[in-house]
């Protein structure tokens, strides 16, 4: 009997499609289905999955299952775990592929336990070699890459974004089998009341931006005149973010200053932190400024394709094969000139303004 694969997804916040990474995981699921000669089932969770199901109707899945209803609108552990468990049991799949969204990252390990199976998260590639499924994931915060296999089934695998080409296909009518789930009272104790943006003057975290701009602690240190220039640093960075559409990252040393009551960049929070103890965002390009480029910082750059750095120290970590280009210069001066240049370009050619 051929293997069975379940592609598990939840509807996007807008409610009319799946999160972008889900289509990438669907692409991976289809590839693996073909390699293994397996059967593919799609499982969807959400308040109303109709529109989202239509976007994957042409993917060629044998069945499309869904757990839907108002109880499954929000990301809540109790209800999401029950929904995912029901879909996994209904599909009876040996391999369950899901996107590593915050919603699923919070719940699918628990589901694996309920199914007496196993789970692996942050997987960056999945392949079949002689019928054996192998997953690649990072350990020690993107410092060691390992290839693993598992004996236990079902095996739930959460795939990272940007690792597979997204599946694309025409939307169409989808035949959805709804799986009934009755939630225990204990599963609905928690009430999701909404979403809150961080305390920032502007939203500085843009996951889909073309460029990641990383500010290091150097921005808040004494400059050549022996004084700090926090206000100037804030203005320069915010102006650059506005003009370039870049997403903002910060080194641990910089964001930690907030908690230590030191002079800080007002818009920088722990949510901006990248690196060993922060996030490892995926952007095509990265520009680091006033950041020394040691290993814990560079971990946050593991998935940045093109890397440039501006630093006053020519012997900093970036010079040791971690960046493509290291500019030995004063970031204050460079950014001021860069902002002027971007402003000039946007005036002369508005379409040249870089889009996020």
Partner 1 sequence: MTNGYHIVVCGSIVPDPLQTLEPVQSPTGPALKNEMMLPAVLDPWAAHALYEAANLASKAAGSNSKVWLVSVGPKAKLQQVMMTIAQKVSFELVPVDSSASGFADAHATAALLADAIQSIPGLDRSRLLVFGGWESASRGAGATMQLVGERLEILDQFQGVDQIRVLDNAQADGSFEVLERIEGGRHQVSVCPGPPALFGWATGNLPEPRNNPQVGMANMRTVMPALQRAKSVPLPAGGLHFLGASPPKQQRQTRVVKDLPAEQIAREIAEWVGK
* Member of 81, 83, 126, 254 binding partner 1 (CB under 8 A): 81
SS3 334: helix
Binding segment for partner 1 (CB under 8 A), chosen from 36-44, 53-61, 185-193, 218-226, is 185-193
Nearest Cα neighbor of 80 from 44, 37, 121 is 44
Does position 306 interact with partner 1 (CB under 8 A)? The reply is yes
CB of 138 to partner 1, least distance (A): 7
Does position 197 interact with partner 1 (CB under 8 A)? The reply is yes
Does position 236 interact with partner 1 (CB under 8 A)? The reply is no
Pairing of strands 247-250, 211-215: parallel
Does position 292 interact with partner 1 (CB under 8 A)? The reply is no
* Member of 172, 295, 347, 356 binding partner 1 (CB under 8 A): 295
CB of 101 to partner 1, least distance (A): 7
Does position 89 interact with partner 1 (CB under 8 A)? The reply is no
CB of 99 to partner 1, least distance (A): 11
Question: Between residue 46 and residue 75, which ones bind partner 1 under the rule CB under 8 A?
Answer: 74-75
| Longest Cα separation, the chain | 75
Does position 215 interact with partner 1 (CB under 8 A)? The reply is no
CB of 330 to partner 1, least distance (A): 7
Is there a contact between 36 and 3 (Cβ–Cβ < 8 Å)?
yes
* Member of 58, 90, 230, 319 binding partner 1 (CB under 8 A): 319
Does position 15 interact with partner 1 (CB under 8 A)? The reply is no
CB of 211 to partner 1, least distance (A): 6
Radius of gyration of the chain (CA): 23
β-pair partners for 104:
none
- Tokens representing residue 33 in the block: 């289905």
Does position 212 interact with partner 1 (CB under 8 A)? The reply is no
Residue with smaller CB distance to partner 1, 215 or 310: 310
Does position 41 interact with partner 1 (CB under 8 A)? The reply is no
Nearest Cα neighbor of 103 from 92, 113, 111 is 111
DSSP state of 249: E
Does position 343 interact with partner 1 (CB under 8 A)? The reply is no
CA atoms within 13 A on the CB side of 130: 1
Does position 195 interact with partner 1 (CB under 8 A)? The reply is yes
Question: Between residue 143 and residue 172, which ones bind partner 1 under the rule CB under 8 A?
Answer: 143-152
Cα–Cα distances (Å) from 183 to 67, 72, 310, in that order, read: 12, 10, 54
Residue with smaller CB distance to partner 1, 63 or 134: 134
Q: Give the angle 162-246-244 at the CA atoms, nearest 5°.
A: 130
* Member of 207, 229, 232, 346 binding partner 1 (CB under 8 A): 207
β-pair partners for 65:
43, 177
* Member of 2, 70, 175, 196 binding partner 1 (CB under 8 A): 196
Distance between CA 64 and CA 6 in Å, rounded? 10
Does position 109 interact with partner 1 (CB under 8 A)? The reply is yes
Does position 322 interact with partner 1 (CB under 8 A)? The reply is yes
* Member of 10, 76, 283, 292 binding partner 1 (CB under 8 A): 76
Nearest Cα neighbor of 294 from 258, 269, 319, 325 is 319
Nearest Cα neighbor of 87 from 56, 105, 108 is 108
Is there a contact between 290 and 218 (Cβ–Cβ < 8 Å)?
yes
Residue with smaller CB distance to partner 1, 62 or 306: 306
Distance between CA 139 and CA 346 in Å, rounded? 43
Does position 356 interact with partner 1 (CB under 8 A)? The reply is no
- Tokens representing residue 294 in the block: 């040691």
């Amino acid at each position: 009997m051929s293997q069975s694969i379940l592609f598990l997804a939840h509807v996007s916040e807008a409610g009319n499609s799946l999160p972008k990474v889900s289509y990438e995981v669907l692409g991976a699921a289809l590839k693996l289905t073909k390699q293994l000669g397996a059967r593919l089932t799609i499982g969807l969770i959400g308040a109303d999955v109709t529109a989202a199901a239509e976007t994957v109707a042409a993917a060629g899945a044998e069945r499309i299952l869904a757990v839907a209803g108002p109880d499954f609108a929000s990301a809540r552990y109790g209800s999401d775990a029950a929904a995912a468990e029901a879909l996994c049991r209904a599909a009876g799949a040996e391999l369950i592929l899901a996107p590593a969204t915050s919603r699923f990252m919070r719940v699918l390990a628990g589901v694996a336990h309920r199914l007496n199976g196993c789970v692996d998260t942050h997987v960056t590639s999945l392949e079949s070699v002689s019928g054996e499924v192998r997953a690649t994931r990072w350990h020690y915060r993107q410092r060691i890459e390992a290839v693993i296999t598992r004996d236990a089934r079902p095996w739930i695998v959460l795939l990272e974004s940007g690792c597979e080409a997204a599946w694309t296909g025409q939307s169409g009518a989808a035949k959805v089998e709804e799986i009934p789930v009755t939630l225990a009272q204990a599963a609905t104790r928690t009430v999701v009341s909404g979403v809150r943006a961080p305390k920032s003057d502007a939203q500085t975290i843009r996951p889909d931006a073309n460029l990641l701009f990383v500010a290091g602690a150097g921005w808040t240190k004494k400059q050549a005149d022996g004084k700090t220039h926090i206000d100037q640093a804030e203005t320069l960075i915010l102006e650059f973010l506005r003009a370039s559409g870049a997403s903002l990252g910060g080194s641990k040393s910089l964001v930690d200053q907030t908690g230590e009551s030191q002079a800080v960049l007002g818009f920088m929070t722990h949510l901006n932190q990248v690196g060993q103890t922060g996030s490892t965002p995926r952007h095509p390009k990265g520009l680091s400024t006033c950041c020394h480029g040691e290993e814990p910082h560079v971990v946050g750059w593991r998935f940045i394709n093109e890397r440039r750095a501006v630093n006053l120290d020519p012997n900093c970590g970036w010079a040791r094969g971690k960046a493509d280009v290291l500019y030995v210069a004063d970031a204050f001066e460079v950014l001021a000139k860069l902002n002027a240049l971007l402003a000039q370009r946007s005036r002369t050619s508005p379409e040249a303004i870089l889009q996020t």
